[in-house]
Amino acid sequence: MNFNWLLDGSIVGLYLVATMAAGIMVRKYVGNVEQFLVAGREMNVFLGIASLAATEFGIVTCMYTAQGGYNSGFAGSTPGILQCLAMLIIGITGFCVKPLRDSGVMTIPELFEQRFGTFIRWLSGVVIVLGGLLNMGVFLRIGGEFLVLSTGMNEKYLVITMTVLLIMVAVYTILGGMLSVLVTDFLQFIVMSIGLLAVTYFFIGSFGWGKIVDTVEKTHGEGGFNPFVSLGWESVLASALVQTAATLTWQTTIARLMAAKDTWTGQKVYIGTSFFFVCRFLIPGIWGIVALMVIAPTTINSLPQPLRASVSISGIDKDTSVADSTKQALNLSQYTPEQLKSMTLDKLPEEVQKNVNVKDLSGSVKSAVSLNAMPVILGKLVPIGLIGILIAAMLAADMSTDSSYMITWAAVIYNDILGPFRKKKSSDSMGLLINRFIVMVIGLFLFFYGLFYKLEGSLWDYLQTTGTVYLSSMSVLLIACCYWKNANSWGATASIIIGAAFPIGYLYLEQVWGAAALKDLGFTQDRSKILAFALSAVAMVVFSLLKPNAAETATKPTAAA
């Protein structure tokens, strides 16, 4: 590994000190809950673009988009193009976001209360937090694994790395709230962008563009360029739905709209950030393609040692998608279930590593190989000095994402889940104290969930599925709330329950039966997402019309009006 602890470590250390100092310094400007949660609504366009871009790019983003490049070539960047289009169109037209910002609320559920009542506000808060926390639950672990693999750090330091990262982020987020998040996001955007661009130019300069494209063509054929060939229309449709819904309702994105100094500034932030979403997928996607070029997986022993050491084969004995002949070649019967749980590819006998092909292994093993290939090649290929900038950039990306996720989900917990139970308005100091406590609890959740959750299948699929828990129903509710006068609380309740049931059901069954068994039954992640969106919308319409006093509700003005 090229990481030099003196030179590169100093670059990383300098960045960390600067970020912490900036984050803590602005805490004195925070005097009440609104300043803590939405920075007093004083955010302007350029700071908004920097903050949104930094938040929407974390290590986890870099990992799954690179995985997309590794598995599907350029076609893996398709979700970025879809989100760019969604963001641009919504920014220009103000679709939903204009009435939402004009209403002066701090969160989406607060808007729903005006239209559907307190219970829907509370229920919306619950699914937003559930989906959001499940989604961000893997961030810390993936971030720690990236650092371990790219710096060559011993794996036993993974938990310590996760803890230190979390504490640093929690300190400035707890003290300065959204204000600290915005200021550190700005610094993090600069550092992150320098690192991302420098490494991409380095790769293109070192390997040549032609060779990168040839690798895609040779490995994936037309599917490496055309998403309809490699990913299929269901995947593209599911992505389009998720990306549009995320643009409309993703809490961290909406938080920038709410923090903007006025509605048009919020829309300009959307317009200005839209093309970043192409970069967000394409740049790490190129890194993933480079990883494929360097590590073309054939037999297990063709993989570099750090990569083999990072891939667990736990559960492979029960995986129905792995052929019996492969299981025999792996000679799994000689291991106890306990030994298998902690078994990684590098611990298999050399003879087995030489004879078993990676493509014959289980989906979770292949997924781990494609996920971890990119950080391993970064550690091997990026030279001293530049790797320090890269690690600082990745830390910047991760810290900005974690801090923003903590503060924005804390806003929903405080405002919408606990809010309806508060009989009278809390004092500023009590409100701040509660918010800081919530941020701390979210940090603890992140830590423990990251330690214990085992990721099945691709990271991107997991993130989309957990996000769909609320994206499907919240986008339906938001559109109905702003533009459909017949929408009411019955429709909203049914929409929320159905929208959450499919993704949660899928994740549960995936853990119990495994992704391969579900696929055999025709229940894929993409189908669960499409069904969640479609049935959530149907439920909104059908149940709204079924409510006895629907006509009376129809006379009430929409929140937008």
Partner 1 sequence: MEAYRWFWGGLTIAALLWYSTITIYIAFHGVFDIKDMLKKLSSGTFDPNAPEK
Binding residues for partner 1, per CB under 8 A?
26, 29, 32, 34-35, 39-50, 74, 102, 104, 179, 182-183, 186, 189-190, 193-194, 196-197, 200-201, 209, 213, 217, 222, 225-226, 261-263, 272, 275-276, 278-279, 282-283, 286
Please state the closest distance from residue 91 (CB atom) to partner 1, in A. 15
Please state the closest distance from residue 17 (CB atom) to partner 1, in A. 19
- C-alpha 158/C-alpha 146 separation (Å) is 10
Q: How many CB atoms lie within 10 A of CB 363?
A: 17
By C-beta, is 356 or 382 nearer to partner 1?
Answer: 382
Asked if 432 contacts 179 with a C-beta cutoff of 8 angstroms, the reply is no
| Angle, alpha carbons 507-511-515 (nearest 5°) | 80
By C-beta, is 48 or 499 nearer to partner 1?
Answer: 48
Amino acid at position 299, single letter: T
Query: Within 13 A of 256's CA, how many CA atoms are on the CB side?
Result: 35
By C-beta, is 32 or 206 nearer to partner 1?
Answer: 32
* 370 CB burial (10 A radius; 0-12, 13-18, 19+): buried
Please state the closest distance from residue 209 (CB atom) to partner 1, in A. 7
* 220 CB burial (10 A radius; 0-12, 13-18, 19+): buried
By C-beta, is 102 or 346 nearer to partner 1?
Answer: 102
Residue with tokens 């229920």: 123
By C-beta, is 173 or 273 nearer to partner 1?
Answer: 273
By C-beta, is 49 or 469 nearer to partner 1?
Answer: 49
- C-alpha 425/C-alpha 112 separation (Å) is 20
Per-residue DSSP letter, 417 = I
Please state the closest distance from residue 42 (CB atom) to partner 1, in A. 4
Please state the closest distance from residue 549 (CB atom) to partner 1, in A. 31
- C-alpha 271/C-alpha 251 separation (Å) is 18
Please state the closest distance from residue 262 (CB atom) to partner 1, in A. 5
Please state the closest distance from residue 152 (CB atom) to partner 1, in A. 29
C-alpha to C-alpha distances, 362 to 65, 267, 318, 328, nearest whole angstrom: 21, 45, 10, 14
